[in-house]
Amino acid sequence: MIVKSVLYMMTVAIIVSSLQATEDMSKWLRPAEVPQPKDNQLTPERIELGKLLYFDVRLSSSEKISCATCHHPKQGWSDEVPTPKAVGHEGAVGSRNSPVILNTAYQNRQFWDGRARTLEEQALGPMENGVEMNMSLDELIPKLNAITGYVKLFEQAYPGEGLTALTLAKAIASFERTVVSGVSAFDKYAMGEEGAISDKAKKGFELFKGKAHCVDCHDGFNFSDGSFHNIGLKDGELKGKELGRYLTKNRAAWYGVMKTPTLRDVTKSAPYFHDGSVATLHEATHICGNGGRFKHNVRNKSTYIVDRELTKQEINDLVSFVETLTGPDMELTIPIKFPQ
């Protein structure tokens, strides 16, 4: 009886251990349900309308720039032509690298500095920005209302609401909520397919959770804590947009902090960081894992950014793991004809 009891307890322990491992891995998998506000539930009509608007250059004053110019599906939802800082109206260069819109539906703050709470609030900002699309809403809304095809589509998507700045934002946000990460090699591994990633990548995953402390900022299925950090890319005093979230409210804790980007599909969206100053994942990993670019004279550097003394081999293993987070491109037919 004792032997049977011991064997039973051992069996239970193995099952529990297995279940715990499954639970631990489940947090790395994207939830099937996409968050959406009550006043802008996803419908096929809203998504299709939003997609047309997203790729339509007529939303810019030059009629040369669309949302996709800086957030293109073939470049990991970043700049169509990879560049350190976004290039907009008449070649004007922005102050930051274009953030990817992948999985933004799951974020509670938008933009590098988190100044917008919702995708609806975010959607209109680039249009009116003089460096980006340079199109005032006072001009854009009448322009779109003069396009019969769009008026009809807005009525189908938002019956009785009209073609307004609000419904324009809602439509674009609806499309952006469909931009979610696909099943990567790591996801297959997390679902139990042991051979889905290499032994080197598995070592990298253990480093990611352990010695390298990457999970301090890149946690959960989106590999982002959704928070803001100063990772020590510059020393001395910061100016202008470098101040990050500090610009929204002058809080000392927000000095120079930027939102943690997702690592999903990160291989597709180089260069990296908010200033686009890093060309490779190896360099980015070295900076984050070994104390930042500058170790002294960095005001308000995150306490997470310390020198972990990662070796070249460990950095290689970490990069091998991060590369497994790249999934297939979203199945998407990019429109070439637009409402008239």
**Alpha helix (H) residue ranges in the chain:** 2-26, 44-55, 67-70, 119-128, 137-145, 148-157, 165-176, 185-190, 199-209, 281-289, 312-323
Over range 124-141, report the average pLDDT. Answer: 93
Q: Is 132 a catalytic residue?
A: yes
Report the run of H or E that residue 228 belongs to, with start and end: strand 228-229
Q: Which domains, from first to last, does the chain contain?
A: 38-176 (1.10.760.10), 185-323 (1.10.760.10)
Give the active site residue among 33, 45, 132, 155: 132
Structure token pair of residue 219: 């946690």
The model's pTM is 0.90
- Mean pLDDT (whole number) for 206-231: 97
Phi, psi of 110 (to 5 degrees): -115, 160
330: closest CA among 41, 34, 66? Answer: 34
- In tens, the pLDDT along 100-127 reads 999 999 999 999 999 999 999 999 999 9
Is the Cα dihedral 126, 131, 133, 138 positive or negative?
A: positive
pLDDT tens-place string over residues 35-89? 999 999 999 999 999 999 999 999 999 999 999 999 999 999 998 888 888 888 8
CB 299 within 8 A of CB 255: yes
Poorest-pLDDT segment among 14-28, 75-89, 294-308: 14-28
pLDDT digits (tens, 9 = 90+) for 236-273: 899 999 999 999 989 999 999 999 999 999 999 999 99
Q: How far, CA to CA in Å, does 191 sit from each of 9, 184, 311, 324?
A: 26, 11, 30, 14
Residue count of the chain: 340
What is the pLDDT confidence band of residue 333, given thresholds at 50, 70 and 90?
very high
